[in-house]
Amino acid sequence: MPPSVLILALVGYEWLIVLGILLVVFLWGPQKLPELAKSIGLAKKEFEKAAKEVSSPSSSTSTSQPATDPLIVAAKNLGLSTEGKTKEEITREIANKTSPK
């Protein structure tokens, strides 16, 4: 096959992709490619996370703490409310409730 037929196999946007990859390799060098790929992956992950939060804000922005936390379980067993409280506040309330008077 003549070389001109092989060159014509890549058209349009395919040349842009090849030139883009070559440009990245020449500008940053092959040792920086893993770092660049990692940062692109992290950016994609963060974007997907933000898009998920926007689509369902009620489930991800809940202020209640998970019930599997031993501190929360102990507070609930003592009949203390944990909604909207920090761990420090919950700890103080547990200490006050369990300390001898």
pLDDT tens digits, 22-41: 898 888 888 888 888 899 99
User: Which two structure tokens, joined as six digits, stand for 61?
Assistant: 């922005």
d(CA 56, CA 53): 5
Per-residue confidence of the chain (101 residues) as pLDDT tens digits?
555 555 556 677 888 888 888 898 888 888 888 888 899 999 999 999 999 888 876 544 445 555 688 888 888 888 988 888 888 999 999 998 888 76
**What's the CA angle centered on 29, arms 27 and 34, to 5 degrees?**
115
The length of the chain is 101
Averaged confidence pLDDT in the chain:
80
d(CA 61, CA 49): 12
Reported pTM: 0.38
d(CA 53, CA 47): 10
8 A C-beta contact, residue 73 and residue 82: no
